[in-house]
Amino acid sequence: MRPMKNPLLIGGAVVALIVLIFIISSINKSAMERTDIGIIPIAHASAIIRWGNEAIYTDPVGDAAQYEGKPEADIVLVTDIHGDHLSTSTLEMVVGSKTVLIVPQAVKDLLPEDLASRARVVANGQSITERGFNIEAIPMYNLPETPNSHHPKGRGNGYVLERDGIRVYVAGDTEGTPEMRALQNINIAFVPMNLPYTMSVEDAANAVLAFKPKQVFPYHYRGQSGLSNVERFKQLVDVGSTSTEVVLLDWYPEQ
- Give 221-240 pLDDT, tens digit per residue: 998 889 999 999 999 999 99
Query: What is this structure's pTM?
Result: 0.85
Q: Left if phi > 0, otherwise alpha if psi is -120 to 50, otherwise beta: which for 226?
A: left
Instruction: Return mean pLDDT, the chain.
Output: 88
Is residue 139 scored above 60 in pLDDT? yes
CB 159 within 8 A of CB 135: yes
Q: φ and ψ at 227, to 5 degrees?
A: -85, 135
Which residues does residue 121 pair with via DSSP β-bridges, in sequence order? 103
Domain 37-246: CATH architecture, name and number where available: 4-Layer Sandwich (3.60)
The predicted pLDDT at position 30 comes to 35
* Over residues 70-79, mean pLDDT: 97
Assess contact for 84 and 59: CB atoms under 8 A. Answer: yes
**pLDDT above 50 (res 155):** yes
d(CA 76, CA 45) in angstroms, rounded, equals 13
71 prior amide bond cis, ω within 30: no
Residue 108 above 80 pLDDT?
Answer: yes
- pLDDT exceeds cutoff 70 at 64: yes
107: helix, strand or coil: helix
- Asked if residues 27 and 34 have their Cβ atoms less than 8 Å apart, the reply is no
Domain ranges of the chain: 37-246
Q: Is the distance from CB of 186 to CB of 200 less than 8 angstroms?
A: no
Calculate mean pLDDT across residues 130-148.
90
Report the share of the chain in percent with pLDDT over 90. 79
Residues 83, 84, 86, 87, CA torsion sign: positive
Better-predicted residue by pLDDT, 198 or 144: 198
Contact 233, 192 (CB under 8 A): no
Tell me, what's the pLDDT at 66?
A: 95
| Residues 6 or more apart whose Cβ sits within 8 Å of residue 91 | 60, 76, 78, 101, 111, 115
Backbone angles phi, psi at 207, to 5 degrees: -65, -45
- As a whole number of angstroms, the distance between CA 158 and CA 180 comes to 9
Decide if pLDDT at 6 tops 90: no
Task: Give residue 149's pLDDT.
Answer: 78
